[in-house]
Structure 1
Amino acid sequence: MSTEIVQLVEQAGPYLTTAVSAYGVAVFTRVESAAVDATATLGRRILQAVWRRRDEQGRAELEAAVHDAAEAPDDADAAAAVRQHIKRALRDDAELQAELARMLPAAGETVNVTAAGERSIAAKTIGTAVTGDNTTIRP
């Protein structure tokens, strides 16, 4: 197994754990919500990307691993089983490996975002943000 795959999975680990804890197996069908923590959202996106690229058996196995990890959030072996599925998927799919590398922050990259004060917004990236009263947004 390549060092790059191991590093990607290690880097994705906290995101995966948070997503599994927040969503359980619903992680595969859940849509993005602005109210959800960014870490859980990234973990969900990673798991969905892997799940979409697996065959029916691979999807079922990944779902079972996620279910087990969600049922026992303190079980390191259950979390490791999810990571093992991610490693296997990455090993078999170079395009998926590149996709996950683009999703994850660069190694060593730290992002600190702070908002202070009334109606403040803090985000690394943002689509539309509204803090005013009686605002109308038009596409």
Structure 2
Amino acid sequence: MSAEIVGLVEQAGPYLTAALGAYGAGVLSRAEDSAVDATANLGRLILHAVWRHRGGTGLAALETAVEDAAEDIEDADAAAALRQQIKRALRDDEELCRELASLLPEPSGAVTITASGARAIAAQSIGMAVTGDNTQFGK
């Protein structure tokens, strides 16, 4: 599999997750929603592009993968199955590769780091980080 396809799918990942979270399993049949943020709408556009380029059993497999991933957006296996369907579609269709590349923003080289939850820590690089109550270091 080409590095270009892997890169496209990795770059599309956050957009796909946002689209599934915003639209659910109906993402393939929904039109753009102005109440949904741009990230989710881009994910919807990506899925619609893949949908238009698939046929036969590939279409059914994509639909099933979307439904499974939308059922539980935290399910890593379902997300991986959806990414695999998108990779298959990209391997079979150079025009789809170009279309997705044109939809996705140019990689900026910027790093996004997110921390979520009680006592969460987010850092690109860190020497030592400790969270918790009554933590003691050395004596």
User: Shorter-chain TM-score: what band?
Assistant: 0.7 to 0.9
Change in CA separation of 1:37 and 1:102 when aligned onto 2, cut-off 3 Å: same
Aligned to 1:56: 56
Name the SS for the 1:34 alignment partner: coil
1:22-41 alignment runs, 5 A limit: 22-41=22-41
CA offset at residue 109 of structure 1? 6.4
- Is the 2:20–2:69 contact (alpha carbons within 8 Å) kept by the matching residues of 1? yes
Query: Alpha-carbon deviations, 1:61-103, whole Å to 9, x = none?
Result: 1111111111111111111111111111001000000000000
- Compute the TM-score of the two structures, normalised by the length of structure 1: 0.75
2:22 is aligned with what amino acid?
Answer: A
RMSD: 1.2
- Uncovered stretches (5+) of structure 2, i.e. residues with no partner: 111-139
Aligned to 2:88: 88
CA offset at residue 25 of structure 1? 2.1
CA offset at residue 24 of structure 1? 2.0
**Rg bigger for which structure?**
2
- Uncovered stretches (5+) of structure 1, i.e. residues with no partner: 111-139
1:19 aligns with 2:19: yes
Aligned to 1:79: 79
Give the 4+ runs in structure 1 shifted more than 2 A: none
- Is the 2:25–2:71 contact (alpha carbons within 8 Å) kept by the matching residues of 1? no
- Compute the TM-score of the two structures, normalised by the length of structure 2: 0.75
2:91 is aligned with what amino acid?
Answer: R
Aligned to 1:129: none
